Amino acid sequence: MAANILVVEDEPAIQELIAANLQLAGHSVLRAEDGEQALSHVRDAVPDVILLDWMLPGVSGIQLARRFRADERTRDVPIIMLTARSEEVDKVAGLEAGADDYVTKPFSPRELMARIKAVLRRRAPQMTEDSVEVEGLSLDPVTHRVLGNGQSVVLGPTEFRLLHFFMTHPERVHSRTQLLDQVWGDHVFVEERTVDVHIRRLRSALEATGHDWLVQTVRGSGYRFSVHPD
């Protein structure tokens, strides 16, 4: 599945190579040459993945990673550090700063794509193309099909994204604000009650196959997708 990827790299040739391969793979790319540009992009919209060069002019990649991890909006965004440093102590420093993975230059585009897929699978499984199944309810993000016990379930695009997020993050309670950020995007400004409307639509669509009970209301907190009856 296409992701919005922020590439923070001050070497033009490397930045262009990375961006070209990401776009070839179907991803959307934002580019930054330094920390200030990166922070500006993130203020506009939170990316799905950040590729972060260690050696940047001004604020270093390590410092930037710490800032991203300290900010509630970017706390959970996957970060892959790009660096020529290959010593174990440097790798540890990058991981301790909040990076999810560490790629040493020079690297092949194929390796980088594999690392991106891996961090998305761990940190943001709703961004992958992996199908998911829970209690006879299956969702395939590639074909955009949902089946309940083999029966087709018709969903609108927002309900599909909402269900995909729920199914890839089961048993957790999500507030309306968190759902707006994850499903609609933090740069889209809609009222929190919009979530309630789409939850009702999702439950209604799941009633026919008897899966509506999986989407549970947690009073005073938000919603949860759970195989355990509320």
3-state secondary structure (DSSP) of residue 164: helix
**Predicted pLDDT of residue 1:** 59
DSSP conformation class of 205:
H
Residues of the chain scoring pLDDT < 50: none
The domain locations on the chain are: 4-127, 132-225
3-state secondary structure (DSSP) of residue 156: coil
Question: How far apart are the C-alpha atoms of 83 and 116, rounded to whole Å?
Answer: 16
How many residues comprise the chain? Answer: 230
Angle at CA of residue 28, ends 30 and 185, nearest 5°: 85
H/E run at residue 224: strand 222-225
CATH class in words for 4-127: alpha beta
Phi then psi for 9, rounded to 5 degrees?
-150, 125
The string of pLDDT tens digits covering residues 144-168 is 999 999 999 999 989 998 999 999 8
**Predicted pLDDT of residue 186:** 61
Global pTM exceeds 0.85: no
Question: Per-residue DSSP letters for 27-77?
Answer: -EEEEESSHHHHHHHHHH---SEEEEESS-SSS-HHHHHHHHHHSTTTTTS
**Predicted pLDDT of residue 106:** 84
Domain 132-225 listed as CATH 1.10.10.10: yes
